[in-house]
Chains A and B, each alone.
Chain A
Amino acid sequence: MTTHVLKIVITGGYATGKTQFVRSISDIEPVSTEQVLTATTERALKHETTVAMDFGSIAINDQITLHLFGTPGHERFDFMREHLLVGCLGYVVLVDSCRPAHLPQTQHLLFRSMELTEAPFVVAANRQDDPTALPLNYIRRRLGLPFNVPLVPCVATDRTTVRGVLLTLLKHIAARLTLHS
């Protein structure tokens, strides 16, 4: 029996919850490349960071498997994101709803990703369970996102909302395919 693999990439800025996103939804124990952070300023947010990629898998049925690739968030590992985006069916851009300082970096990442691939993408606003989180309309405006790009609320530790983000992406891909066919 042939197994069909669909590649989805999870990308975003530093400490936006990409590794947790993959962990929350993956059927298998995710493959992570976490290393201890040494820079003091970076340790303020977390103690370990992804240096190559995260890998998770979701078996839809016997024939179809979704492969999730999480990219590193550091700019110095941008080359990994470029490799991972090649041939992807679509991608998710994660943004931290509680750190407005990261929005310009995410905007730069969005433009760079759109240059690399024209696969459909959705933006997921993480930490929307926090009562102080920035509202979606503000995030959309700061990122300069047009309304035809879905912006989805998300909590990376909550499997239900992560599933919702992936469903939105798949629906977005399906809509694009319908349009092109």
Chain B
Amino acid sequence: MALEGNLQNMALSDLIQVFHTDAKTGILFLKGTHERGVIYVADGRLIDAVVVRGKERTIVATRDEAVLQMLTWEQADFIFRYEPTVRKRPIRIVHSGQCLILEGMRRHADPVRTLSYYNITPETILHLAALPRNVRSGVRLSIDQWRILSWIASGQNVHTICQATGLDVPAVTRLVVELMAIGLVEIAPCLSAATEPAYRDCTMIASAAPVYAHDVPYINKNSRSFSNVCGTMRQVCSEIDLLDVITRCINQL
């Protein structure tokens, strides 16, 4: 009892559309080359998601950011299982599936905008995010993520963290973005207005291209040879009219 396939045959955006239009409930598992993702769906709405990496299952992203990351995947096996208990899970995804699809398309078209790399400079000051009440434990961090987190806790900027940890700026930026995706870290409030994600306003990206691209024109054929088939069948049913036979079939089947 599951929907199975590969993103090459059915894109995640299509799956999200189907979940929404058919009010599906269940858990979608995706298995990419290096990462795995899970999306929880309740009555067609995306309520929670997570992306993990490697055998250690290090959390790379959660909630909206996890869905956005998965929308950029082109190759992954998926399986969607019906699971009614998902409805009892807390809703942790803020945006609608449609909004996330549009933002995912925008990021796909402009990879520079992927995540918040372009917002983080050596002068960026970071701080710990306030965790929601319903947050659950189970987050596993790598050693480098822990090291970065410990410096962020003391309100340092990226440049200071680089000096303290001995990591270069790109590496620290990548780790900070991963911690932001998990929801543990935020850019300090003085810069938050400039770094607000654009996808909070869906109207900005409403003019994006249509999601569906699989339609194939149907070959409309004339029906001359069908009458030949009917002629053959008339020979078989030599004594009665074919239409009469079919009508009787319909009535008696």
Interface string of B198-221 (1 = CB under 8 A from A): 000000000000001011111111
Question: Using Cβ atoms and an 8 Å threshold, which residues of chain A touch B216?
Answer: 107, 144
Of B64-72, B146-154, B223-231, the stretch lying at the interface with chain A is: B223-231
Partner of B22 from A117, A135, A176 at Cβ < 8 Å: A135
Complex contacts, A181 vs chain B, CB 8 Å? 243
Q: Smallest Cβ distance from B107 to chain A, in angstroms?
A: 24
Contact across chains for A180 and B81 when beta carbons are under 8 A apart: no
Asked if A80 is at the interface (CB within 8 A of a chain B CB), the reply is no
Partner of A180 from B26, B226, B236 at Cβ < 8 Å = B226
Across the interface, name the chain A residue whose C-beta is closest to B220: A146
**Closest chain B CB from A86 CB (angstroms):** 9
Residue numbers in A under 8 Å from B80 (CB-CB): 132
Listed stretches B5-13, B155-163, B186-194; interface member? B5-13
Q: Is the CB of B218 within 8 A of A174?
A: no
**Smallest CB separation, B88 vs chain A (Å):** 17
Contact A174 B229, beta carbon cutoff 8 Å: no
Set of chain A residues within 8 Å of B26, measured between Cβ atoms:
131-132
- Are A100's CB and B10's CB within 8 A? yes
- Cβ–Cβ contact A174 & B243, under 8 A: yes
Smallest Cβ-Cβ distance to B1: which chain A residue: A130
Does A51 have its Cβ within 8 Å of any Cβ on chain B? no
A residues within 8 A CB of B5? 99-101
Q: B226–A119 contact, CB under 8 A?
A: yes
A178 CB contacts on chain B under 8 angstroms: 243
Q: Are A88 and B229 in contact (CB under 8 A)?
A: yes
Contact count band on B: 35 or more
- Residues on the B chain within 8 Å of A171, using CB: 250
Is B109 on the interface with A (CB-CB < 8 A)? no
Are B253's CB and A60's CB within 8 A? yes
C-alpha spacing A135/B22, complex, angstroms? 7
- Interface 0/1 of B154-174, CB less than 8 Å to A: 000000000000000000000
B134 is an interface residue with CB less than 8 A from chain A: no
Indicate with 1 or 0, residue by residue over B230-253, a CB within 8 angstroms of chain A CB atoms.
101100110110110111111011
Q: How far is the CA of A173 from the CA of B230 in the complex (A)?
A: 10
A130, A138, A171: which has the most chain B beta carbons within 10 Å?
Answer: A138
A103 at the interface (CB under 8 A from B): yes
B62 at the A interface (CB under 8 A): no
Residues of A within 8 A of B230 (CB): 177, 180
Q: Which of B81, B233, B236, B249 has the most CB of A within 10 A?
A: B249
Contact of A120 with B by CB under 8 A = yes
- Identify the closest chain A residue to B246 (Cβ): A174
When C-beta atoms are compared, the residue in chain A nearest to B21 turns out to be A135
With A100-B9, A118-B224, A180-B227: A144-B217 Cβ-Cβ less than 8 Å? yes
Q: Within 8 Å of chain A (Cβ to Cβ): is B73? A: no
Contacts of B237 in A (CB 8 A): 4, 6
A148→B233 CA distance, assembly (Å) = 23
Which A residues are in CB contact (< 8 Å) with B225? Answer: 117-118
Question: Which 7 residue pairs of A and B lie closest in terms of their CB atoms, listed nearest first?
Answer: A100-B10, A132-B3, A144-B216, A101-B9, A118-B226, A131-B82, A100-B5
Interface CB pairs A-B, < 8 A, 9? A4-B236, A6-B237, A89-B229, A98-B2, A100-B9, A132-B1, A134-B18, A146-B218, A177-B242
5 more A-B residue pairs beyond the given contacts A2-B239, A87-B233, with a C-beta to C-beta distance below 8 A: A6-B246, A99-B3, A132-B82, A146-B218, A180-B223
